Structure 1
């Protein structure tokens, strides 16, 4: 395998990974770590027995031995991490999972990672931008749509994820979301 092929394979495998959470700090004196989970509910992260951690461009696999909800996050015991000093070395590490390991969703349900980067157009055919992120507000999720090449204007928009009242259609194959949303909002 040439260097170019190796680099391409690494890039392709990175594209198949999604970030499910992040190790934030040390918890206690026995090597436990505090974890912020991006899953909903947050405890879903604990269902995966092996995690891929990425910190400062380096990745490694590590087994989760135990974990539970604690306050607004999770606390987790990882294999081979037995002291606060060991745990501190993992602070800031992203917890990754291959997309193929995620549960299959029902039709009409989407992972946030599937929506990020999709173009958003209104019913008048105006390109409003691309989804840059999503916000969880309690009442409903919100698409953060930022201007992109070809956008109607340069405005950032917050569009509620309300199907079918606002979000009319999501087409992953064409990377397009159609919304009933006035460009002046």
Structure 2
């Protein structure tokens, strides 16, 4: 959740789902507060420019809403739709070890980046303690991405 919006307790909200409005069908939401999971009761939401503004139950003014800024929300993974074969959630890809077709270790996926053309794997290679190296590999299944084994957290790529 972002900054407070207005004086009535609304908060700017950014969705990272592919279809931005889909986040509102994945209720309930959770936050981690004082090392315990807490459910957020959403009262209302509106589309506002290229983002959303939300109202949370019992947050009626700006000062209370300010305590919720810069808070990440979480959902239960079981709420997400079942994927087709060869489709993956980013969360499943992160922490996979990446090897090229000659079995050379390239790094571990630390993030994915979305651009207009395709997603990009961001790897970090920590083999050499002195030189932590980051590598970007286009996530193009078939051409570059040869095999994804989510169970064993391994990705094989055609990459040097």
TM-score (norm 1): 0.79
Work out whether residues 49 and 65 of structure 1, in 8 Å CA contact, stay in contact via their aligned partners in 2.
no
Work out whether residues 51 and 61 of structure 1, in 8 Å CA contact, stay in contact via their aligned partners in 2.
yes
Q: Determine whether 1:29 maps to 2:26.
A: no
Distance in 2, Cα, partners of 1:149 & 1:102: 35
Work out whether residues 55 and 93 of structure 1, in 8 Å CA contact, stay in contact via their aligned partners in 2.
no
How is 1:49-88 mapped onto 2 (pairs within 5 angstroms)? 49-55=27-33, 57-88=35-66
How is 1:151-162 mapped onto 2 (pairs within 5 angstroms)? 154-162=132-140
3-state SS in 2 of match to 1:97: coil
Distance in 2, Cα, partners of 1:181 & 1:68: 44
Deviating beyond 2 angstroms after TM superposition, the runs of 4 or more aligned structure 1 residues are 54-59
- The gaps in structure 2 that reach 5 residues or longer are none
- Give the count of matched residue pairs: 159
Shift of 1:56: 5.9
Q: Cα deviation per residue 1:52-100 (whole Å; 9 max; x = unaligned)?
A: 1225645421211222332232211111111111111101111011222
Distance in 2, Cα, partners of 1:75 & 1:37: 11
The residue that corresponds to 1:95 in the other structure is 73
How is 1:33-182 mapped onto 2 (pairs within 5 angstroms)? 33-55=11-33, 57-149=35-127, 154-182=132-160
Q: Which moved more, 1:103-112 or 1:67-76?
A: 67-76
Shift of 1:49: 3.1
Q: 1:102 to 1:145 in 2, by over 3 A?
A: same
Work out whether residues 93 and 109 of structure 2, in 8 Å CA contact, stay in contact via their aligned partners in 1.
yes
Q: Cα deviation per residue 1:120-179 (whole Å; 9 max; x = unaligned)?
A: 0111111101000011111111000111459xx853210001111111111011110011
Q: Which moved more, 1:26-35 or 1:42-51?
A: 42-51
Work out whether residues 24 and 34 of structure 1, in 8 Å CA contact, stay in contact via their aligned partners in 2.
yes
